[in-house]
């Protein structure tokens, strides 16, 4: 969490930084701040609690001149959201300013030592320790800023992406990273740095992704230089960005979330492009054929992920078990990492993460690889940490997801897992060529069918008005629809703040059924699959207790239609593809309920898109 931006060049520093902060606001919006040095060597720091727009308001009558600057948008970890705890933080003597994304685990020890040396602290953050430590080393060793940064980072335990500015040296920014992302944009006579490439994609498409424990020396008029903490120079690996500026704008929609829901026909098309070939008879997914022996040799698959990606992982289990007849375990990455897991080189671990930066998932990958398991990653953000930390993997290719609530990434992940399951089944011979062709040809039709599902939007918007003020919701599903129920409940919780629980429909009678009354709506995901008859019973059980029911059914359904209060019909697809189709009405229902309640759907309270803390 937290987003950082930096700029050195001849453009308007403040404008570049503020625009960049807006792009990174999905990473946290508890406070924002900028630090700029003017050509005559004046360091100015402005900060404000809350969103970036509050900072803009605060800066209206301020001196905004500068030739270099850094900025930050915060997701609070150490210390409440306040002006005082907002970044940039500055050294006691006012010569250095620093922004930080990550957490410093040994900050208490460092703070105590610095306090003994006479340092005064002004905030409750772990970050302030970094800037004070750098300044302390710089003065004590009478060294350059870059040397002080290297020495300070050797003493730090934790995760960091930092950028440091020096009052007396307005022609440079020093930046470094470990376990938190940092990318440098190289333009003509200007350089940028940011937590991801979105702040500078409109200025340059050349990017350098910093590696762990690398320090970047970004100087006006000089080429980028990168050194290790030991001061060994690294080669500069410039990548060309594929992202375009239009992907970062709302394109006429009132919110990124709605845009991303409606983008799904095209994002799913991008996701399957070039992967489902020969009219659906063969599936080619990156990293499967070239690691054939791993996919043939494994005895068990363990999938690790968090949040929405964990729901996709659960679907991955059903898909792989069904199609490949392999045992699959699904673990929350945060639990897995501390559970003393038992893995060996015959295990295959799949790690799923939209952002590619989730700290718990990254840690789970390191543990799994440490135990000799082969790790296959599924991510969305190209060049992020998880694809670089895994043995092999693939991207979902759904483009930048900016709305904090994940929508198009979820359907992209499920699509990739479906293609992965078919690819493994192809290798292992657990599916016939007819079965593969049937699913493959239907995958090719999915983008078109999703367009049809989206036509339900006006009906869902009307339906949302009836349920806006419900205080609790139950989401029920069985088989492939159970993870969809979990995901539907999560979407509602996170953007409308209504309590919702996802449950396996048959498990309801073992407890949650006690909650059902006229005040408690149930959303039941009941496509026409092999458990249809069973879920009809569960629908009856809810109805018999006076609960109102919104059911997602296959078009042409006649049975549930006569029991449920409202039905939303979706196109018929093979059972394994129903989650992609049935999850979309649930995304829309959450969106409209949250809008009716006047909530900020793109930036729900307390959340951040990229969770780089434990």
Show the site string, 102-141: x = touches ligand F6R by CB under 6 A, - = not: ----------------------------------------
Let me know: does 612 contact 359? Beta carbons within 8 Å: yes
Q: Which is nearer to ligand F6R, 494 or 501 (CB)?
A: 494
Distances in Å between the Cα of 137 and the Cα atoms of 49, 144, 151, 214, 516 are: 31, 10, 7, 19, 63
The nearest distance, CB 405 to ligand F6R, in angstroms, is: 4
Q: Minimum CB separation from ligand F6R for residue 322, in Å?
A: 24
Q: Given the residues 2, 67, 442, 576, select the one marked as catalytic.
A: 2
Among 363, 553, 611, 613, binds ligand F6R (CB under 6 A): 611
Q: Does 92 bind ligand F6R (CB under 6 A)?
A: no
Q: Catalytic annotation on 609?
A: yes
309 binds ligand F6R (CB under 6 A): yes
Neighbours of 118 (CB within 10 A): 8
Site for ligand F6R, residues 26 to 65, rule: CB under 6 A: none
Give the nearer residue to ligand F6R in terms of CB position, either 38 or 610.
Answer: 610
Q: Count of CB atoms within 10 A of residue 126's CB?
A: 23
User: How far, in Å, CA of 260 to CA of 276, rounded?
Assistant: 23
Cβ-based burial of 320 (10 A; exposed 0-12, middle 13-18, buried ≥19): buried
Q: Which of 31, 85, 123, 358 binds ligand F6R (CB under 6 A)?
A: 358
Between residue 371 and residue 430, which ones bind ligand F6R under the rule CB under 6 A? 405-406
**179 is an interface residue for ligand F6R by CB under 6 A:** no
Q: Say which residues have a Cβ less than 8 Å from residue 200's Cβ, sequence separation at least 6.
A: 20, 185, 187, 192, 194, 207
**Residue 271 to residues 391, 410, 467, 575, Cα–Cα distance (Å):** 21, 12, 34, 20
Q: Which residues of 458-490 are buried (b: 16+ CB within 10 A; e: fewer)?
A: eebbebbeebeebeebbbbbbbbbbbbbbbbbb
Q: Does 306 bind ligand F6R (CB under 6 A)?
A: yes
Contacts of ligand F6R in 328-357 (CB under 6 A) = 353-355
Q: What's the CA gap between 22 and 250, in Å, rounded?
A: 13
Alpha-carbon span 431 to 405, nearest angstrom:
35
| Beta bridge partners of residue 217, listed in sequence order | 174, 225
CB 25 within 8 A of CB 15: no
Q: Where are the alpha helices (DSSP H) in 192-283?
A: 256-262, 264-272
Nearer to ligand F6R, 68 or 490 (CB): 490
| Residue 361 contacts ligand F6R per CB under 6 A | yes
Q: How far apart are CA 483 and CA 475, in angstroms?
A: 10
Residues 6+ apart with CB under 8 A from 90: 35, 43, 45, 96, 97, 98, 131
Among 347, 494, 501, 575, binds ligand F6R (CB under 6 A): 494
| Size of site (CB under 6 A) for ligand F6R | 14
Minimum Å gap between C-beta 355 and ligand F6R is: 3
Task: Answer yes or no whether residue 198 interacts with ligand F6R by CB under 6 A.
Answer: no
Q: Per-residue string for binding with ligand F6R, 529-568, x by CB under 6 A?
A: ----------------------------------------
Residues 439-478: x where in contact with ligand F6R by CB under 6 A, - otherwise, as a string: ----------------------------------------
Task: Candidates 307, 440, 483, 571: give the one binding ligand F6R (CB under 6 A).
Answer: 307
Residue nearest to ligand F6R (CB): 307
Rounded Cα–Cα distance for residues 459 and 143 (Å): 66
User: Is 2 a residue of the active site?
Assistant: yes
| Residues carrying an active site annotation | 2, 609
The contact set with ligand F6R (CB under 6 A) reads 306-309, 353-355, 358, 361, 405-406, 490, 494, 611
């Amino acid at each position: 969490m937290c987003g950082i931006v930096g700029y050195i060049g001849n453009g308007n520093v403040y404008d570049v930084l503020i625009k960049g902060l807006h792009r990174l606001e999905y990473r946290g919006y508890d406070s924002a701040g900028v630090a700029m040095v003017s050509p005559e060597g004046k360091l100015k720091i402005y900060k404000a609690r809350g969103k970036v727009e509050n900072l803009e308001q605060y800066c209206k009558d301020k001196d905004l001149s500068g030739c270099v600057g850094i900025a930050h948008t915060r997701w609070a970890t150490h210390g409440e959201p306040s002006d005082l705890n907002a970044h940039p933080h500055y050294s006691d003597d006012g010569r250095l300013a620093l922004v930080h994304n990550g957490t410093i685990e040994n900050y208490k020890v460092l703070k105590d030592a610095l306090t003994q040396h006479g340092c005064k602290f002004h905030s409750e953050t772990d970050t302030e320790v970094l800037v004070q430590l750098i300044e302390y080393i710089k003065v004590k060793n009478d060294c350059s800023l870059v040397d002080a940064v290297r020495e300070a980072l050797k003493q730090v335990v934790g995760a960091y992406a930092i950028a440091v500015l020096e009052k007396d040296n307005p022609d440079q920014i020093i930046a470094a990273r470990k376990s938190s992302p940092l990318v440098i944009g190289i333009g003509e006579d200007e350089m940028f740095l940011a937590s991801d490439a979105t702040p500078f994609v409109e200025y340059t498409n050349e990017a350098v992704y910093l590696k762990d424990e690398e320090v970047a020396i970004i100087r006006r008029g000089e080429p980028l230089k990168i050194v290790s903490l030991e001061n060994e120079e690294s080669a500069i690996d410039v990548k060309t960005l594929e992202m375009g500026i239009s992907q970062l704008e709302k394109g006429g929609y009132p919110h990124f979330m709605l845009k991303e829901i409606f983008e799904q026909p095209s994002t799913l098309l991008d996701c399957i492009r070039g992967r489902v070939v020969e009219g659906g008879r063969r599936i080619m997914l990156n990293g499967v054929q070239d690691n054939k022996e791993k996919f043939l040799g494994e005895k068990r698959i363990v999938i690790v992920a968090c949040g929405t990606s964990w729901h996709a992982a659960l679907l991955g289990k059903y898909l792989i078990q069904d199609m490949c007849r392999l045992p699959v375990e699904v673990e929350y990455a945060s639990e897995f990492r501390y559970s003393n897991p038992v893995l060996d080189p015959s295990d295959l671990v799949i790690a799923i993460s939209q952002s590619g930066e989730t700290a718990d998932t990254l840690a789970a990958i390191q543990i799994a690889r440490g135990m000799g398991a082969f790790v296959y990653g599924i991510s969305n953000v190209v060049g992020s940490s998880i694809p670089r930390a895994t043995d092999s993997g693939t991207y979902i290719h759904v483009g930048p997801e900016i709305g904090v609530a994940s929508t198009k990434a979820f359907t992209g992940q499920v699509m990739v897992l479906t293609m992965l399951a078919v690819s493994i089944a192809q290798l292992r011979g657990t599916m016939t060529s007819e079965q593969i062709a049937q699913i493959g040809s239907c995958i090719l039709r999915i983008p078109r069918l999703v367009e049809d599902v989206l036509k339900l939007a006006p009906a869902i918007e009307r339906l949302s008005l009836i349920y806006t003020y419900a205080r609790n919701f139950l989401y029920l599903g069985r088989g492939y629809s159970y993870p969809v129920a979990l995901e539907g409940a999560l979407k509602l919780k996170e953007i409308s703040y209504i309590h919702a629980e996802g449950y396996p429909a048959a498990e309801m009678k073992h407890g949650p059924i006690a909650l059902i009354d006229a005040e408690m709506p149930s959303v039941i995901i009941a496509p026409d699959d092999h458990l249809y008859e069973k879920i009809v019973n569960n629908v009856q059980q809810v109805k018999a207790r006076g609960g109102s029911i919104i059911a997602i059914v296959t078009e042409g359904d006649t049975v549930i239609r006569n029991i449920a209060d409202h039905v939303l019909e979706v196109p018929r697809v093979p059972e394994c593809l129903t989650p992609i189709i049935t999850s979309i009405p649930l995304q829309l229902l959450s969106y409209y309920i949250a809008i009716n309640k006047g909530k900020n759907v793109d930036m729900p309270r307390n959340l951040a898109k990229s969770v780089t803390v434990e």
